[in-house]
Amino acid sequence: DADVTQTPRNRITKTGKRIMLECSQTKGHDRMYWYRQDPGLGLRLIYYSFDVKDINKGEISDGYSVSRQAQAKFSLSLESAIPNQTALYFCATANPGQGANEQFFGPGTRLTVL
Amino acid sequence: GENVEQHPSTLSVQEGDSAVIKCTYSDSASNYFPWYKQELGKGPQLIIDIRSNVGEKKDQRIAVTLNKTAKHFSLHITETQPEDSAVYFCAASIGTGTASKLTFGTGTRLQVTL
């Protein structure tokens, strides 16, 4: 969905490096999410935020941190990347206040940690 | 927490045939069940969803059925077309029926052959 953008789209880095993945949205949604996708494991929730002052851990938050800089921006950081963090990362947004339940996903960031 | 199992992991059907993907969930408090379609190189996109107060929902060639007693739900695609080829994810949401926090299945890769 073009309303949710992720940068970079691809990144190759080395073990131990600090990496930041960025997500921006123009939907005006309050809720934002970070997922990782691995073959055979589906989508797993890393962190989520229901508004600018709210940050919650998901099922696999170890090794990751997030920052909600504004309603429209939600960044995911890997403080010291390791090879098993190689995955496809997705940002998503939602706004249940409109009566809908859909999560809107960005195009993904493919991260490779060597 | 919630656990969602999805089968099969891969499914190949001939164009025009039907495809069925099945999911089971563990937490009886779950009451919202969306299905997402992920095309190659893109983020997942909602295609249909169902709430626990409904047993079946249909939208053109796709339908979803829910059996609360057995805690399973299924996606049915009829008259499959090549553009249906994608990865499909089921999900479940615990609690109030919003998309606050979704637990995803592991995905089904559907291939529609000519």
Q: What is the pLDDT of residues B44-54, one digit of tens each?
A: 999 999 988 88
Q: Is the pLDDT of residue B98 over 60?
A: no
| Mean of pLDDT values over B90-111 | 81
Of B6, B36, B98, the CB nearest to A96: B98
Q: What is the pLDDT of residue B4?
A: 96
* Nearest-5° Cα angle at B96, B90 to B100: 60
Q: What is the per-residue pLDDT for A100?
A: 59
Best B49, B102, B103, B108 member to test A by mutation, with max A CBs in 10 Å, is B102
Beta-ladder partners of B68:
none
CB contact under 8 Å between A101 and B104, yes or no, is no
pLDDT tens digits along A72-113 = 999 999 999 999 999 999 999 988 765 557 889 999 999 999
Residues near A90 by Cβ (< 8 Å), separated by ≥ 6? A6, A34, A35, A36, A37, A43, A105, A106, A108, A109, B43, B44
Size of interface A-B (CB pairs under 8 A): 60
Q: Is the four-CA dihedral A20, A113, A64, A46 of positive or negative sign?
A: positive
Cβ contact A1–B45 (<8 Å): yes
Which of A7-11, A26-30, B94-98 has the highest mean predicted lDDT (pLDDT)? A7-11
Q: Which residues of chain B have a CB within 8 Å of the CB of A48?
A: 101
Chain A CB contacts of B59 below 8 Å: none
Nearest to B43 among A44, A45, A105 (CB): A105
C-alpha A42/C-alpha A62 separation (Å) is: 18
Structure tokens at B107: 């995905």
Contact (Cβ atoms closer than 8 angstroms) between residue A74 and residue A34: yes
- At B97, the pLDDT band (50, 70, 90 cuts) reads very low
For residue A84, the 8-state DSSP code is G
Give the model's pLDDT for residue B1.
80
B58 touches chain A (CB under 8 A): no
- Best A10, A23, A37, A101 member to test B by mutation, with max B CBs in 10 Å, is A101
B83 falls in which pLDDT band (50, 70, 90)? very high
| Residue B32 pLDDT | 87
Residue B13: count other Cβ atoms within 10 Å of its Cβ. 17
Q: What letter does residue B67 receive in the DSSP assignment?
A: E
What's at B72, amino acid-wise? H
Residue A109: predicted pLDDT? 98
For position B99, what pLDDT does the model report? Answer: 47
Would you say residue B93 has pLDDT above 90?
no
Mutate to test the interface with B, among A61, A88, A103, A109 (most CBs of B within 10 A): A103
Tens digit of each residue's pLDDT (9 = 90 or more) over A33-45: 999 999 888 999 9
* A47-82 CB burial, b ≥16 within 10 A, e <16: bbbbeeeebeebebbeebebebeebbebbbebeebe
d(CA A61, CA B102): 15
The pLDDT score that the predictor gives to residue A97 is: 63
- For residues A99 and A89, what is the distance between their CA atoms, to the nearest angstrom? 27
Task: Indicate yes or no: CB of A102 within 8 angstroms of CB of B32.
Answer: no
Closest partner CB to B43 (pick from A41, A94, A106): A106
**For residue A100, which amino acid is it?**
A
Is residue A81 within 8 A of residue A13, CB to CB? The reply is yes
HSE, CB side, 13 Å, CA atoms: give it for residue A26: 4
HSE at residue B41, side-chain half, CA atoms within 13 A, is 0
For chain A, what is the mean pLDDT? 92
Residue B62 has pLDDT above 50, yes or no: yes
